[in-house]
Amino acid sequence: MLPELESERLLLRPRSLGDIDAIAGMNTDPAVMKHIAAIDDPAMSPEAVAARSFSHVERGLGYWSVFAKAKPVEFLGYVGLIPDGDAAEDVQLSYRFTVASWGQGYAREAAARLLRHGFEALALSAIAITTHPLNLASLRLAERLGFSPAPMDPTILIGYPAVIATRFRLTRETWRGLNPPAA
């Protein structure tokens, strides 16, 4: 079981089957999917989303649906900590929000809360981000969260048509420096 998490304005609830339709709906929005995949990509269907949603919860990894505390029934998007390739210790941060929620700092606030969970509760040593080189919002978000550019891997592709993904990395040490414990 993944824990519920909370930030100043947001509730992060472990993904449930009840969230799948909202996620699949987001996956049919061309604006959301512009730098991720074709909207008719079978990997984005409700069945495919459901099939991969809960695969790693025993390791404490998975997805959290994000809601505003002020309006806790409206799905805003999700953040996730998911395996990054095959090495067991490698984890990446994932985020996707509905267009209606963009530009209010929700993605940054939710991702920052999940990073704290990843580095403190899960004791991860580093977290990666994989994104499209033209995804300006995602690139900016990675930078604002403290991530640094990491070497590109020509085997890691993203988008439609596919291009080599831009990679970022944040170590626990760097994160601790940016987020010192409250005095």
Site residues for ligand COA, window 65-94 (CB under 6 A)? Answer: 77
Return the structure tokens found at 45.
């269907």
- CA distance readout (Å), 103 to 23, 64, 97, 99: 19, 20, 10, 9
From residue 26 to residue 55, the character string flagging contacts with ligand COA as x (rule: CB under 6 A) and all else as - is ------x--xx-------------------
Separation of alpha carbons 5 and 10, rounded Å: 8
Does 95 interact with ligand COA (rule: CB under 6 A)?
yes
Residue 133 interacts with ligand COA (CB under 6 A): yes or no: no
140 binds ligand COA, rule: CB under 6 A: yes
Give me the sheet containing 148-150, strands edge to edge: 5-6, 10-14, 62-68, 71-83, 91-97, 126-131, 166-171, 148-150
Q: Does 108 bind ligand COA (CB under 6 A)?
A: yes
Among 25, 103, 149, 177, binds ligand COA (CB under 6 A): 103
CB atoms within 10 A of CB 90: 15
State the number of binding residues for ligand COA (CB under 6 A). 22
Residues that bind ligand COA (CB under 6 A): 32, 35-36, 77, 95-97, 102-108, 131, 135-138, 140-141, 144
